[in-house]
Amino acid sequence: MDKTEALRRLAAAHVGYLATAGPHIVPFVFVVEGRRILSMVDTKPKSTTELKRIRNIRTDPLVSVLVDHYESNWSRLWWVRVDGTARVVDEDFDHIAALLRAKYPQYADVDLTGPAIIVDIERIVGWESAPTVP
C-alpha cells in the first residue's frame, strides 16, 4: 500500500489505537490534518484526570498509532501504522475541537475540555493481505 493510500485510510478510520511508552495502549478517536493526528481528552469517564497516556507523552513523546480492518475473510485484512512524536497541548484547542465535532457527531453531547494530543507523523506504513485469486 502506498503512503498516500495509507494516509487516506488513516484519516477515514473512526477508531485508532495509540501506543505510548511503557508500552501502554488505548483506543482513541482522532482527526488527521496534513501530517498530524489530532485528538482530545473528553469527559467520558476515565480512571484519573491526568490520564496515563498524557503522563507517558510528557515523559517520552514517541508514540505509535494503528488503524486496521479485521474480518473473518483473511484475504481482506489491512492496517496502517504511524510512528510519530506526540505533544500535549493545554490551550487554544478550539480548532481541534471543531475538527473532531465535524468528524464525530457523537461529540455534540460531550464537552471537549482538553488537553489535546497532537501527533506529528514521522513514518507511515500500510499493509494489506493479498487478495485470493478467484
Query: What is the SS3 assignment for 18-81?
Result: EEECCCEEEEECCEEECCEEEEECCCCCCCCCCCHHHHHHHHCCEEEEEEEECCCCHHHCEEEE
Least distance (Å) between residue 91 CB and a copy of itself: 26
Contact 91, 85 (CB under 8 A): no
HSE at residue 131, side-chain half, CA atoms within 13 A, is: 3
- In the list 62, 89, 99, 112, the residue contacting a copy of itself (rule: CB under 8 A) is 62
DSSP assignment letter at 14:
S
In the stretch 15-34, what mask flags binding to a copy of itself with x, by CB under 8 A? x-x-xxxxxxxxx-------
Residue 81 interacts with a copy of itself (CB under 8 A)? yes
Residue 80 interacts with a copy of itself (CB under 8 A)? no
Least distance (Å) between residue 92 CB and a copy of itself: 26
Give residues in contact with a copy of itself (CB under 8 A). 14-15, 17, 19-27, 44-45, 62-66, 68, 70, 72, 74, 77, 79, 81, 83, 106, 110, 129-130
